[in-house]
Amino acid sequence: MNFTEDGGVRRINEKKLITLVKKNNDKKAAGEIVKFYYKEIFAYVFRQTSNEELSKDLTQEIFISMLKSLGGFDDEKASFRTWLYKIASNKIIDNYRSTYYKYVTVVDEFEEGLVGYENDLEESFQLKEDAKEILEIINTLNTSIQQILRLKIFGGMTFLEISSLIDMSESTVKTKYYSSIKKIKKILEVKKNE
């Protein structure tokens, strides 16, 4: 069994693999699931952290959590992919709340300050700072808003997928998303005018 086939066959194989892991604790089946989703989840995490080592660590934690809680997965409530993204989103939020993250961020900023940047890097540095500032604003929002923004912006999910994932109507998800985007833009404008 592998996931390289078309979507319908993939979903059938995915279901079989999940069943094998749930019922028999099949390590090979678990490995296949991880192998298939690893790059996608790593990319989702990396887009939010911009730190390769941290992204690898978080991705590993996400798959460990997935395997530990696979018994609670219900394909009637959400697709496996959507469920996995929820785990990923929660791990990322937990990471940003942790004191470890705050320490690593301060150390990284200090180290970046020691390394002089050249003129041609100035623009990419500014883009990175803008993205960092946006992430910092997102991190101050309540958890449900963070989830919506992260799943939409970094996970590329549709409003319908997000609504099924977090048990909220699609229209409510859209409203919260767009009002949060407006709020973030206002905060950025105020900061730039200071």
Provide the CA 67 distance to its chain's centre, in angstroms: 17
Per-residue confidence in pLDDT tens, the chain, 194 aa: 444 444 444 556 888 888 888 888 888 988 999 999 999 999 999 988 888 999 999 999 999 999 999 888 888 888 899 899 999 998 988 887 765 555 455 445 444 443 444 444 455 555 566 777 888 888 888 888 988 988 888 778 889 888 888 889 999 999 999 999 888 888 888 887 87
Residue with token string 């300050």 = 113
What does pTM read for this prediction? 0.61
Determine the Cα–Cα distance for residues 181 and 56; give it in Å rounded to an integer: 28
Which domains does the chain show, CATH number per domain?
Answer: 1-116 (1.10.1740.10), 120-194 (1.10.10.10)
CB-side neighbour CA atoms (13 Å) of 54 = 21
